Amino acid sequence: MQLLRLDQFAGRLNETFDVDMEHGRVPFVLVEARPLPYQPMPGLAREPFSLLFRNEAAIVFPQRIYNMRNTLMGEFGIFLVPVARDRDGFLYQAVFN
């Protein structure tokens, strides 16, 4: 399993990450990548962070692990949770701690 880090996503804002769905690939756009507060401790594998993706579909997708693909980052799985809806679609969050 690949250990994902904030610095891998910070330069990818507004890029599309394709998600494999039953009926094909669905685009999710990375709209936020931010660090989370934490207490430093020995052996910490990475600093915690949060990602926010937007999807413009008219339906909300359930929380689960989605297989994502980005041109520069390759393929990886991320657990996404729907957290909000705005005028442009639904927002999904991934938290890494």
In a domain, 56, yes or no: yes
Residue range 51-75: mean pLDDT, rounded: 94
Alpha carbon distance 28, 16 (integer Å): 6
Domain with 91 in it = 6-96
Domain count, the chain: 1
pTM for the structure as a whole: 0.91
Alpha carbon distance 67, 19 (integer Å): 6
Using an 8 Å Cβ cutoff, are 75 and 17 in contact?
A: no
Using pLDDT thresholds of 50, 70 and 90, give the confidence band for residue 1.
low
pLDDT above 80: residue 59: yes
In a domain, 1, yes or no: no
In a domain, 24, yes or no: yes
In a domain, 82, yes or no: yes
Tokens of residue 34, six digits: 């931010």
Greatest Cα pair distance, the chain, in angstroms, is 44
